[in-house]
Chain A
Amino acid sequence: MKFPLRQLLFFAGAIGMAILYALAFAHLPGPEGLRSMYRDVINLQTVEQRHITDAITAVNFDYRGFDTLGEEFILFVSVMGALVLLREEKDQGGQKVPDAAWPARSVPPGDALRVWTLWMTGPVVLFGIYIVVHGQLTPGGGFQGGVILATAPLLIYMAENLEVFKRITSHEWVEIAEAIGAGGYALIGLIAFFYSKPFLTNVIPLGPGGTNINVLSGGMVPLIDLTVGLEVAAGFVLLLYAFLQEMLVKQGDQ
Protein backbone atom coordinates (compact mmCIF):
# COMPACT_ATOMS: atom_id res chain seq x y z
CA MET A 1 0.00 0.00 0.00
CA LYS A 2 1.34 3.39 -0.91
CA PHE A 3 2.60 5.41 1.98
CA PRO A 4 0.18 8.39 1.80
CA LEU A 5 -2.72 5.94 1.66
CA ARG A 6 -1.47 4.25 4.76
CA GLN A 7 -1.20 7.56 6.56
CA LEU A 8 -4.71 8.50 5.49
CA LEU A 9 -6.04 5.22 6.82
CA PHE A 10 -4.18 5.74 10.04
CA PHE A 11 -5.39 9.30 10.58
CA ALA A 12 -8.98 8.39 9.88
CA GLY A 13 -8.67 5.64 12.45
CA ALA A 14 -6.80 7.82 14.93
CA ILE A 15 -9.47 10.50 14.91
CA GLY A 16 -12.11 7.84 15.49
CA MET A 17 -10.14 6.32 18.33
CA ALA A 18 -9.55 9.69 19.95
CA ILE A 19 -13.30 10.20 19.97
CA LEU A 20 -13.83 6.75 21.47
CA TYR A 21 -11.27 7.45 24.16
CA ALA A 22 -12.88 10.81 24.96
CA LEU A 23 -16.34 9.28 25.22
CA ALA A 24 -15.05 6.55 27.49
CA PHE A 25 -13.19 8.89 29.81
CA ALA A 26 -16.06 11.32 29.97
CA HIS A 27 -18.19 8.78 31.74
CA LEU A 28 -15.63 7.56 34.18
CA PRO A 29 -16.36 9.03 37.57
CA GLY A 30 -13.40 11.09 38.73
CA PRO A 31 -10.90 9.82 41.27
CA GLU A 32 -13.27 10.20 44.18
CA GLY A 33 -16.11 8.41 42.53
CA LEU A 34 -14.16 5.37 41.44
CA ARG A 35 -15.22 2.24 43.16
CA SER A 36 -12.40 1.03 45.31
CA MET A 37 -13.70 -1.90 47.29
CA TYR A 38 -10.95 -4.18 46.05
CA ARG A 39 -8.27 -1.79 47.20
CA ASP A 40 -9.98 -1.07 50.51
CA VAL A 41 -10.43 -4.67 51.45
CA ILE A 42 -6.86 -5.55 50.62
CA ASN A 43 -5.33 -2.53 52.29
CA LEU A 44 -7.28 -3.14 55.47
CA GLN A 45 -6.53 -6.82 55.60
CA THR A 46 -3.07 -7.33 54.33
CA VAL A 47 -1.18 -6.53 57.52
CA GLU A 48 -3.28 -8.64 59.90
CA GLN A 49 -4.17 -11.42 57.55
CA ARG A 50 -0.85 -11.95 55.89
CA HIS A 51 1.71 -10.15 58.03
CA ILE A 52 2.84 -8.26 54.95
CA THR A 53 3.28 -4.51 54.91
CA ASP A 54 3.87 -4.04 51.20
CA ALA A 55 0.36 -4.35 49.84
CA ILE A 56 1.56 -4.53 46.26
CA THR A 57 3.68 -7.60 46.89
CA ALA A 58 0.79 -9.11 48.80
CA VAL A 59 -1.48 -8.62 45.82
CA ASN A 60 1.16 -9.83 43.40
CA PHE A 61 2.21 -13.00 45.17
CA ASP A 62 -0.65 -13.87 47.45
CA TYR A 63 -4.07 -12.57 46.47
CA ARG A 64 -3.34 -12.72 42.75
CA GLY A 65 -0.41 -15.08 42.84
CA PHE A 66 -1.69 -17.13 39.95
CA ASP A 67 -1.35 -14.20 37.58
CA THR A 68 2.26 -13.81 38.62
CA LEU A 69 2.92 -17.46 37.84
CA GLY A 70 1.73 -16.84 34.31
CA GLU A 71 3.79 -13.68 34.09
CA GLU A 72 6.88 -15.52 35.24
CA PHE A 73 6.39 -18.03 32.50
CA ILE A 74 5.98 -15.27 29.93
CA LEU A 75 9.46 -14.17 30.96
CA PHE A 76 10.62 -17.77 30.74
CA VAL A 77 9.18 -18.18 27.26
CA SER A 78 10.66 -14.93 26.00
CA VAL A 79 14.12 -15.84 27.23
CA MET A 80 13.78 -19.21 25.54
CA GLY A 81 12.52 -17.42 22.46
CA ALA A 82 15.52 -15.16 22.35
CA LEU A 83 17.76 -18.21 22.74
CA VAL A 84 15.93 -20.08 19.97
CA LEU A 85 15.97 -17.11 17.63
CA LEU A 86 19.61 -16.24 18.24
CA ARG A 87 20.93 -19.75 18.29
CA GLU A 88 24.17 -20.76 16.68
CA GLU A 89 24.10 -21.64 13.03
CA LYS A 90 24.83 -25.09 11.79
CA ASP A 91 26.66 -25.36 8.50
CA GLN A 92 25.85 -27.93 5.82
CA GLY A 93 27.49 -30.81 7.61
CA GLY A 94 25.54 -30.17 10.76
CA GLN A 95 28.64 -29.00 12.59
CA LYS A 96 28.50 -25.90 14.69
CA VAL A 97 30.13 -22.93 13.06
CA PRO A 98 33.09 -22.30 15.35
CA ASP A 99 33.02 -19.16 17.41
CA ALA A 100 35.15 -16.39 16.04
CA ALA A 101 38.29 -15.89 18.02
CA TRP A 102 37.74 -13.31 20.67
CA PRO A 103 38.51 -10.07 18.91
CA ALA A 104 40.54 -7.57 20.79
CA ARG A 105 38.35 -4.72 21.89
CA SER A 106 38.74 -1.80 19.60
CA VAL A 107 39.08 0.56 22.57
CA PRO A 108 40.28 -1.00 25.83
CA PRO A 109 38.16 -0.01 28.82
CA GLY A 110 39.57 2.94 30.65
CA ASP A 111 40.99 2.54 34.12
CA ALA A 112 38.25 4.68 35.64
CA LEU A 113 35.59 2.42 34.17
CA ARG A 114 37.30 -0.71 35.40
CA VAL A 115 37.83 0.56 38.91
CA TRP A 116 34.29 1.83 39.23
CA THR A 117 32.48 -1.16 37.77
CA LEU A 118 34.51 -3.81 39.52
CA TRP A 119 34.13 -1.99 42.79
CA MET A 120 30.36 -1.58 42.29
CA THR A 121 29.73 -5.24 41.56
CA GLY A 122 29.72 -6.29 45.19
CA PRO A 123 27.33 -3.59 46.42
CA VAL A 124 25.04 -4.23 43.44
CA VAL A 125 24.77 -7.91 44.30
CA LEU A 126 24.11 -7.12 47.94
CA PHE A 127 21.54 -4.52 47.04
CA GLY A 128 19.82 -6.94 44.69
CA ILE A 129 19.60 -9.61 47.37
CA TYR A 130 18.33 -7.01 49.84
CA ILE A 131 15.53 -5.97 47.47
CA VAL A 132 14.57 -9.56 46.77
CA VAL A 133 14.48 -10.58 50.41
CA HIS A 134 12.60 -7.54 51.69
CA GLY A 135 9.90 -7.67 49.06
CA GLN A 136 7.09 -8.12 51.50
CA LEU A 137 8.18 -5.28 53.75
CA THR A 138 9.11 -2.42 51.45
CA PRO A 139 8.70 -1.76 47.74
CA GLY A 140 10.63 -4.42 45.93
CA GLY A 141 10.34 -8.10 45.45
CA GLY A 142 11.51 -10.85 43.20
CA PHE A 143 11.16 -9.06 39.87
CA GLN A 144 12.85 -5.83 40.80
CA GLY A 145 15.62 -7.50 42.77
CA GLY A 146 16.22 -10.06 40.05
CA VAL A 147 16.84 -7.39 37.45
CA ILE A 148 19.30 -5.66 39.77
CA LEU A 149 21.12 -8.94 40.33
CA ALA A 150 21.33 -9.49 36.58
CA THR A 151 23.23 -6.27 36.12
CA ALA A 152 26.18 -7.53 38.14
CA PRO A 153 27.61 -9.77 35.36
CA LEU A 154 26.92 -6.93 32.96
CA LEU A 155 29.14 -4.66 35.01
CA ILE A 156 31.90 -7.24 34.82
CA TYR A 157 31.43 -7.49 31.07
CA MET A 158 31.81 -3.74 30.79
CA ALA A 159 35.05 -3.83 32.75
CA GLU A 160 36.51 -6.85 31.04
CA ASN A 161 35.42 -8.57 27.86
CA LEU A 162 33.04 -11.25 26.68
CA GLU A 163 35.34 -14.10 27.53
CA VAL A 164 35.30 -13.23 31.20
CA PHE A 165 31.54 -12.79 31.04
CA LYS A 166 31.16 -16.23 29.57
CA ARG A 167 33.41 -17.72 32.19
CA ILE A 168 31.44 -16.38 35.12
CA THR A 169 28.05 -17.19 33.66
CA SER A 170 28.18 -20.78 32.63
CA HIS A 171 25.36 -21.11 30.11
CA GLU A 172 24.20 -24.46 31.32
CA TRP A 173 24.04 -23.58 35.00
CA VAL A 174 22.23 -20.33 34.35
CA GLU A 175 19.63 -22.18 32.32
CA ILE A 176 19.17 -24.68 35.10
CA ALA A 177 18.87 -21.84 37.62
CA GLU A 178 16.20 -20.22 35.51
CA ALA A 179 14.26 -23.45 35.20
CA ILE A 180 14.51 -24.02 38.96
CA GLY A 181 13.22 -20.54 39.58
CA ALA A 182 10.29 -20.99 37.25
CA GLY A 183 9.43 -24.48 38.39
CA GLY A 184 9.99 -23.56 41.99
CA TYR A 185 7.08 -21.14 41.98
CA ALA A 186 4.74 -23.84 40.72
CA LEU A 187 6.14 -26.31 43.26
CA ILE A 188 5.55 -23.91 46.15
CA GLY A 189 1.98 -23.64 44.97
CA LEU A 190 1.71 -27.41 45.01
CA ILE A 191 2.55 -27.53 48.72
CA ALA A 192 -1.01 -26.42 49.40
CA PHE A 193 -2.31 -29.69 47.96
CA PHE A 194 -0.89 -31.55 50.94
CA TYR A 195 -3.15 -29.50 53.17
CA SER A 196 -6.18 -30.13 50.92
CA LYS A 197 -6.28 -26.51 49.93
CA PRO A 198 -6.43 -25.05 46.43
CA PHE A 199 -3.28 -24.25 44.48
CA LEU A 200 -1.09 -21.42 45.83
CA THR A 201 -2.77 -21.22 49.23
CA ASN A 202 -0.46 -19.68 51.78
CA VAL A 203 -0.09 -22.60 54.18
CA ILE A 204 3.39 -21.86 55.45
CA PRO A 205 3.44 -20.36 58.96
CA LEU A 206 3.05 -16.64 58.68
CA GLY A 207 5.86 -15.66 61.00
CA PRO A 208 5.97 -12.64 63.28
CA GLY A 209 3.19 -10.13 62.95
CA GLY A 210 2.12 -6.81 64.33
CA THR A 211 5.06 -4.49 64.84
CA ASN A 212 7.57 -7.32 64.61
CA ILE A 213 7.09 -8.01 60.94
CA ASN A 214 10.45 -9.00 59.51
CA VAL A 215 11.89 -10.84 56.56
CA LEU A 216 10.40 -14.12 57.68
CA SER A 217 6.81 -12.89 57.71
CA GLY A 218 4.33 -13.55 55.02
CA GLY A 219 4.40 -17.30 54.83
CA MET A 220 5.22 -18.40 51.33
CA VAL A 221 5.70 -14.89 49.94
CA PRO A 222 9.42 -14.63 50.86
CA LEU A 223 9.99 -18.06 49.32
CA ILE A 224 8.26 -17.04 46.13
CA ASP A 225 10.29 -13.84 46.11
CA LEU A 226 13.45 -15.92 46.18
CA THR A 227 12.41 -18.21 43.33
CA VAL A 228 11.17 -15.32 41.22
CA GLY A 229 14.37 -13.37 41.90
CA LEU A 230 16.42 -16.38 40.83
CA GLU A 231 14.42 -16.84 37.68
CA VAL A 232 14.43 -13.19 36.64
CA ALA A 233 18.15 -12.79 37.31
CA ALA A 234 19.01 -15.96 35.41
CA GLY A 235 16.64 -15.03 32.61
CA PHE A 236 18.12 -11.61 32.07
CA VAL A 237 21.68 -12.97 32.24
CA LEU A 238 20.73 -15.46 29.52
CA LEU A 239 19.25 -12.66 27.45
CA LEU A 240 22.43 -10.64 27.82
CA TYR A 241 24.41 -13.72 26.91
CA ALA A 242 22.38 -14.35 23.77
CA PHE A 243 22.58 -10.76 22.56
CA LEU A 244 26.26 -10.30 23.40
CA GLN A 245 27.10 -13.60 21.74
CA GLU A 246 25.28 -12.45 18.65
CA MET A 247 27.25 -9.23 18.70
CA LEU A 248 30.48 -11.13 19.08
CA VAL A 249 29.92 -13.34 16.07
CA LYS A 250 29.06 -10.30 14.00
CA GLN A 251 32.22 -8.51 15.10
CA GLY A 252 34.21 -11.61 14.24
CA ASP A 253 32.82 -11.50 10.71
CA GLN A 254 34.10 -8.00 10.05
Chain B
Amino acid sequence: MIFYVACAVAAWLFLVGVYGIATSDNLVHLVLCLVVVQASTYVLLSAVGYRHGGVAPVFADVTQTQTTVDSVVQALMLTDIVVEATVVALLLAITVQIKKRTGIVDPNNVNLLRG
Protein backbone atom coordinates (compact mmCIF):
# COMPACT_ATOMS: atom_id res chain seq x y z
CA MET B 1 0.00 0.00 0.00
CA ILE B 2 2.72 2.41 0.95
CA PHE B 3 4.35 1.62 -2.35
CA TYR B 4 1.45 3.06 -4.31
CA VAL B 5 1.22 6.08 -2.02
CA ALA B 6 4.90 6.77 -2.63
CA CYS B 7 4.40 6.44 -6.38
CA ALA B 8 1.49 8.88 -6.24
CA VAL B 9 3.63 11.32 -4.26
CA ALA B 10 6.34 11.01 -6.91
CA ALA B 11 3.89 11.81 -9.69
CA TRP B 12 2.48 14.73 -7.72
CA LEU B 13 5.91 16.20 -7.01
CA PHE B 14 6.85 15.97 -10.66
CA LEU B 15 3.75 17.74 -11.90
CA VAL B 16 3.77 20.38 -9.17
CA GLY B 17 7.42 21.11 -9.79
CA VAL B 18 6.86 21.50 -13.52
CA TYR B 19 3.87 23.76 -12.80
CA GLY B 20 6.19 25.87 -10.71
CA ILE B 21 8.69 26.14 -13.53
CA ALA B 22 6.01 26.93 -16.09
CA THR B 23 4.48 29.73 -14.07
CA SER B 24 7.56 31.06 -12.34
CA ASP B 25 8.40 34.75 -12.28
CA ASN B 26 11.74 34.54 -10.53
CA LEU B 27 14.75 32.63 -11.76
CA VAL B 28 15.82 31.41 -8.33
CA HIS B 29 12.30 30.11 -7.74
CA LEU B 30 12.50 28.36 -11.09
CA VAL B 31 15.72 26.59 -10.17
CA LEU B 32 14.27 25.44 -6.87
CA CYS B 33 11.19 24.09 -8.64
CA LEU B 34 13.60 22.01 -10.68
CA VAL B 35 14.89 20.65 -7.38
CA VAL B 36 11.33 19.69 -6.47
CA VAL B 37 10.99 17.82 -9.74
CA GLN B 38 14.19 16.02 -8.96
CA ALA B 39 12.80 15.04 -5.57
CA SER B 40 10.09 13.12 -7.36
CA THR B 41 12.69 10.81 -8.84
CA TYR B 42 14.20 10.22 -5.41
CA VAL B 43 10.83 9.25 -3.97
CA LEU B 44 10.11 6.93 -6.88
CA LEU B 45 13.50 5.25 -6.66
CA SER B 46 13.17 4.77 -2.91
CA ALA B 47 9.72 3.30 -3.40
CA VAL B 48 11.04 0.91 -6.00
CA GLY B 49 13.76 -0.26 -3.65
CA TYR B 50 11.52 -0.75 -0.66
CA ARG B 51 10.82 -4.14 0.88
CA HIS B 52 8.47 -4.84 3.76
CA GLY B 53 10.49 -5.07 6.94
CA GLY B 54 13.67 -4.42 5.05
CA VAL B 55 16.64 -2.80 6.73
CA ALA B 56 19.55 -0.88 5.31
CA PRO B 57 21.97 -3.08 3.35
CA VAL B 58 24.93 -2.29 5.58
CA PHE B 59 26.13 -5.67 6.68
CA ALA B 60 28.29 -4.41 9.51
CA ASP B 61 25.28 -4.68 11.78
CA VAL B 62 22.96 -6.81 9.75
CA THR B 63 23.41 -10.46 8.86
CA GLN B 64 23.10 -11.40 5.27
CA THR B 65 20.01 -13.47 5.67
CA GLN B 66 17.85 -10.56 6.76
CA THR B 67 15.62 -8.76 4.32
CA THR B 68 17.29 -5.61 3.12
CA VAL B 69 16.13 -2.88 0.83
CA ASP B 70 17.59 -2.56 -2.62
CA SER B 71 21.15 -1.28 -2.66
CA VAL B 72 21.37 -0.71 -6.40
CA VAL B 73 18.53 1.79 -6.26
CA GLN B 74 20.28 3.70 -3.50
CA ALA B 75 23.45 3.86 -5.54
CA LEU B 76 21.38 5.27 -8.40
CA MET B 77 19.95 7.84 -6.04
CA LEU B 78 23.41 8.90 -4.91
CA THR B 79 24.38 9.52 -8.51
CA ASP B 80 21.09 11.32 -9.00
CA ILE B 81 21.70 13.64 -6.06
CA VAL B 82 25.18 14.56 -7.22
CA VAL B 83 23.90 15.27 -10.72
CA GLU B 84 21.13 17.45 -9.34
CA ALA B 85 23.41 19.41 -7.04
CA THR B 86 25.74 20.18 -9.89
CA VAL B 87 23.01 21.16 -12.32
CA VAL B 88 21.52 23.48 -9.70
CA ALA B 89 24.93 25.03 -9.12
CA LEU B 90 25.30 25.64 -12.83
CA LEU B 91 21.83 27.13 -13.13
CA LEU B 92 22.35 29.40 -10.15
CA ALA B 93 25.61 30.63 -11.64
CA ILE B 94 23.71 31.47 -14.82
CA THR B 95 21.04 33.22 -12.73
CA VAL B 96 23.61 35.33 -10.91
CA GLN B 97 25.20 36.36 -14.19
CA ILE B 98 21.84 37.22 -15.76
CA LYS B 99 20.98 39.42 -12.80
CA LYS B 100 24.39 41.01 -13.00
CA ARG B 101 24.23 41.72 -16.75
CA THR B 102 20.63 42.68 -17.17
CA GLY B 103 19.22 43.31 -13.73
CA ILE B 104 16.29 41.05 -14.55
CA VAL B 105 15.29 37.98 -12.60
CA ASP B 106 11.91 37.37 -14.20
CA PRO B 107 12.20 34.58 -16.77
CA ASN B 108 9.27 36.04 -18.65
CA ASN B 109 11.13 39.27 -19.23
CA VAL B 110 14.38 37.75 -20.33
CA ASN B 111 13.26 37.65 -23.92
CA LEU B 112 16.32 38.36 -25.91
CA LEU B 113 15.89 35.34 -28.15
CA ARG B 114 12.55 35.60 -29.83
CA GLY B 115 11.16 34.22 -33.08
- A→B interface (CB under 8 Å): 3, 6-7, 10, 14, 17-18, 21-22, 25, 28, 30-32, 34, 36, 38-39, 42-44, 46-47, 53-56, 58-60, 64, 67-68, 71, 74-75, 77-79, 81-82, 85-86, 137-139, 143, 213, 239, 242-243, 246, 250
B70 CB within 8 Å of chain A: yes
A74 touches B11 (CB 8 A): no
Q: A18-B15, A53-B59, A239-B89 are in contact. Are A34 and B97 (CB under 8 A)?
A: no
CA distance A208 to B90 in the complex (A): 42
Interface of B, helix, strand, loop or mixed by DSSP: helix
Give 4 closest A-B pairs by Cβ, nearest first.
A78-B86, A55-B71, A55-B57, A59-B75
Cβ of B96 and Cβ of A86 under 8 Å apart? yes
Q: In the complex, what residues of B have CB within 8 A of residue A38's CB? A: 70, 72
Residues of B within 8 Å of A17, CB to CB, are 11, 14-15
Residue pair B75, A85 in contact (C-beta under 8 Å)? no
User: Roughly how many angstroms separate A78 CA and B48 CA in the complex, as a whole number?
Assistant: 29
Does B83 lie within 8 Å of A18, measured CB to CB?
Answer: no
Task: Encode B78-111 as 1/0 by CB contact (under 8 A) with A.
Answer: 1100110111011011101100100000000000
* Chain A residue with the shortest CB-CB distance to B108: A3
Q: A54 to B96, Cβ gap below 8 A?
A: no
Tell me the B1-48 residues at the A interface (CB within 8 Å): 3-4, 7-8, 11, 14-15, 18-19, 22-23, 48
Main SS class of interface, A: helix
Residues A86 and B93 in contact in the complex (CB < 8 Å), given A18-B11, A138-B60: yes
Query: Apart from A25-B7, A39-B71, what are 8 other A-B pairs with CB-CB below 8 Å?
Result: A17-B15, A28-B7, A39-B68, A55-B57, A56-B58, A59-B74, A242-B93, A243-B92
Contact of A246 among B60, B75, B85, B96 (CB under 8 A): B96
- Report yes or no: A71 in contact with B58, Cβ–Cβ below 8 A: no
| A30: contacting residue among B3, B8, B100, CB under 8 A | B3
Which of A34, A43, A44, A58 counts the most B-chain CB atoms under 10 A from its CB? Answer: A43
A64 CB contacts on chain B under 8 angstroms: 72, 75
Q: What are the residues of chain A within 8 A of B60 when measuring CB–CB?
A: 53-54, 137-138, 213
A42-B90 in contact (CB<8A) = no
Contacts of B86 in A (CB 8 A): 74-75, 77-79
Chain A residues within an 8 Å CB radius of B71: 39, 42-43, 55-56, 58-59
Most chain-B CB neighbours within 10 Å: which of A21, A68, A77, A246? A21
A176 CB → nearest B CB, Å? 20
